[in-house]
Amino acid sequence: IGEDLKNELVNELCASTPGFTPPKVKEQMFYKVGLADAVDLFRARRVFIKDGFAYVPFKEIDVIVLNNYRTKLSKALALTARSLPSIQSDERLQPLLSHLSHSYVGPDYSVGKNAGKISLEQIDALCVKSFPLCMRQLHRALRDSHHLRHGGRMQYGLFLKGIGLTLEQALEFWKKEFIRGKVDADKFDKGYAYSIRHNYGKEGKRTDYTPYSCMKIIMSNPPSQGDYHGCPFRHSDPELLKQKLQSYKISPSGITQILELVKGMHYQLACQKYFELTHDVDDIGFSLNHPNQYFTESQKLLSGGRELKKEFNNAGNFQQKNNSQESINPSATPTSSNATADTELEGLEAYFTED
Ligand code: SF4
């Protein structure tokens, strides 16, 4: 509604909208919506009603949007249920339908523009700051045992490809690590290099493979004994998950929230909560569907966060934020100090804040 109408109704809006005073009415936007759309607010006596219209403050408008969405969704579901038998009887559509709920339709995070933007020296620091738990687990296992089995090599290798490792870097990265274990250089070149080149579309069918989405990781190829791939929120024993989160300095209340989400089988929401807790934000601001999305969003956030941190440090009043940032880092910085990590990550800002 316009300012004139708002001024005219200021007393009524104050009296009928809980928590509103005349100055607050002046600064808030109000929407005039049909009473039928605001029944819940009307029933709870939270809005002013006049001539069949409700005057809804901005902070309550989500209730209206939600109701509208719910109505449209239930109509669409009813229509779908009615059409389903005839669609299912068409054998051309059957495979499409049965894969629909498992398919991932977001960006594929193929290497493309990212290639070569990351150096091998940055990986340990990036792992602590910006890898989702699944990739952090794989990286840790690789560094500790100097080996990963096939499922882990595929999941982690394609993720690294997505964040920007070139084929040459990937060969160097895996070889360096494997030859520290039981595999010698010759065996690596004969046995493992092929599959890395294969992932980059240089062998076999020459398919340029893309990193796995959360859905794929959660729904297929569960890890067996000795495997480290999969999604820790889906595939780890809750007690082990709890210990892992404790070792990463997640607060007890944060761990409880994550475990509740895991119990309700909301694995990606649990991962979003992990993101919020490790990045010290209240709302993740995106819907998580892909480990590479996690990485990109983390880098975007940390780039902005770092500038903010500098500003606040200059002003000398950023103690709390600075502490919470530090509480993330010591948890698993195996080879680099925080300062080194920051230096190593310089230059990535522009890259991850684009698009
Ligand atoms: Fe990885 Fe996705 Fe599981 Fe998070 S939800 S740990 S990104 S698979």
Residue pLDDT, tens place only, 129-185: 999 999 999 999 999 999 999 999 999 999 999 999 999 999 999 999 999 999 999
Q: Which atom of ligand 1 is nearest to the CA of 267?
A: 5
> Nearest 5°: CA angle at 101, between 98 and 103?
95
Closest Cα to atom 2 of ligand 1? 214
Q: Which atom of ligand 1 is nearest to the CA of 234?
A: 3
Closest Cα to atom 6 of ligand 1? 134
Question: How confident is the model at residue 112, as a pLDDT?
Answer: 66
Which helix (H) or strand (E) covers residue 119, if one does? none
Closest Cα to atom 3 of ligand 1? 231
199 with 207: CB under 8 angstroms? no
340 C-alpha to ligand 1 centroid (Å): 27
Tally of CB atoms within 10 A around 15: 10
- Tell if the pTM clears 0.75, that is, is over it: no
Which of 5-9, 119-123, 183-187, 334-338 comes out lowest in average pLDDT? 334-338
Highest mean pLDDT among 39-43, 170-174, 285-289: 170-174
132 C-alpha to ligand 1 centroid (Å): 6
Q: Which atom of ligand 1 is nearest to the CA of 212?
A: 8
Q: Provide residues with CB under 6 Å of ligand 1.
A: 132-134, 214, 217-218, 231-233, 267-268, 271, 291, 294
Q: How far apart are CA 244 and CA 83, in angstroms?
A: 47
Q: Which atom of ligand 1 is nearest to the CA of 231?
A: 3
30 C-alpha to ligand 1 centroid (Å): 40
